[in-house]
Amino acid sequence: MTTTAISAVPATRPPWRRALLTGGAGFLGSHLCERLIEAGVGVDCADNLSSGAADNIRHLAGQPGFRFLELDVTDLGVPDALAGPYDLVLHCAGPASPADCRDRPLEALDAAGLGTRNALAVAARAGARFLLASTGRVRGDPLGPATPEEAPDDAESDGPGGVYDVTTRFSEALTAAYAVAHGTDAGIVRLFDTYGPRMRADGPGSIPVIVAQSLAGGPVTVKDDGTGARSLCYVDDVVEGVLRVAASRSLRPVDIGGGDETTVQEIARRVIDLTGCRGGLEFGTAHSPDPARRRPDPSFACELFGWTPAVSWKEGFQRTIDHFAGPRSHGGEYAVTDGPLTGPEEGPGVRVAGDPGRPAGERLT
């Protein structure tokens, strides 16, 4: 794949005035919104809340420059509804896990196809940088040293998790093809095991479930024998890596993930130690196949963009535990955890919660 890359701009001042973030109410999307707003970048956060949650961004609803747009990125009218102008489009919309594909396979396929193409069209019209948030699962189950371009030779599209893998590979292929055909400044980040506050519980063995079970006194359940290896990376470090790639012109897929591997069993034991849980470990049966090993190759991100994870596992786990142990509230005016964020409709299928001081639904120019 042809690659053009320049080093990332300094993190002191992002080079963007306004960004569109699809899937912005999800785990990673909400943290990206937060970081951009803190840096003075205006953000349009688009999400249909099928897997994201309004609570993830409620604390941003009164921030200058932030707008939440409740819409489905697969709708045909989305490129016209998202008028911008934008200098950055971060495309995080899509299934958050294989479980989402199992429950809503057609919607997942639409998000990979129509959703990605709509987001690319918005970026192309504005001349904006486009970055696709992909997943390390696109490279299969690496049992040896991973390479950036490694991918499985076949994909079982009808098996458990198959839709998730196929949608991920298709959205990457579509991004690369669109960039070549239209000259769009597009890139891809492959995200591995990311954890931190606001992450979703996706079944036994996920970090939120391990934390919740530990805080409740145990026992803590992990899948199978818990020997599957993971390369964890705290969400703040992942956000930093994503934004560094976004500030470049790299088309080549870039792995963003932790470099050190640990087993799921060891993750559970670390959480148990930090929470003081007296319950032991229990081993359950996996509901669907999961790669025994997910190992990124962060050398490209390190060498070209100067990115390395900074948050230790102990600090990251403690922040995550503190989040799930506390009240489900961000404090202040937006601490209420129910009710809509959106106001009047702005076009078919689009509802908007505006910038403070602007009428709901007013275009930003």
Nearest-angstrom CA–CA distance, 352 and 52: 16
276 token code pair: 């003081």
> How many helices (DSSP H) and strands (DSSP E) are in the chain?
11, 15
Nearest-angstrom CA–CA distance, 256 and 309: 9
| Burial class of residue 327, CB neighbours in 10 A (0-12, 13-18, 19+) | exposed
Strand locations in 127-184, DSSP E? Answer: 129-135
Ramachandran region, residue 178 (left: φ > 0; alpha: ψ -120 to 50; beta: rest): alpha
Strand locations in 42-161, DSSP E? Answer: 42-47, 66-70, 88-91, 129-135
Geometric angle at alpha carbon 182, from 181 and 183, rounded to 5°: 105
Which residues are CB-contacts of 278 (< 8 A; sequence separation ≥ 6)? Answer: 217, 218
Q: CA torsion, points 110, 111, 115, 119, in degrees to nearest 10?
A: -160
With CA atoms as reference, report the closest residue to 63 among 334, 331, 335, 342: 334
Q: Which helix (H) or strand (E) holds 18?
A: strand 18-22
Residue in 86, 164, 178, 234 annotated catalytic: 164
**Start-to-end C-alpha separation, the chain:** 36
Nearest-angstrom CA–CA distance, 185 and 126: 11
Residues linked to residue 352 through DSSP beta bridges, in sequence order: 69
Residue located via tokens 């504005």: 126
Catalytic residue check, 164: yes
Which residues are CB-contacts of 322 (< 8 A; sequence separation ≥ 6)? Answer: none
Nearest-angstrom CA–CA distance, 304 and 339: 44
The catalytic site residues sit at 164
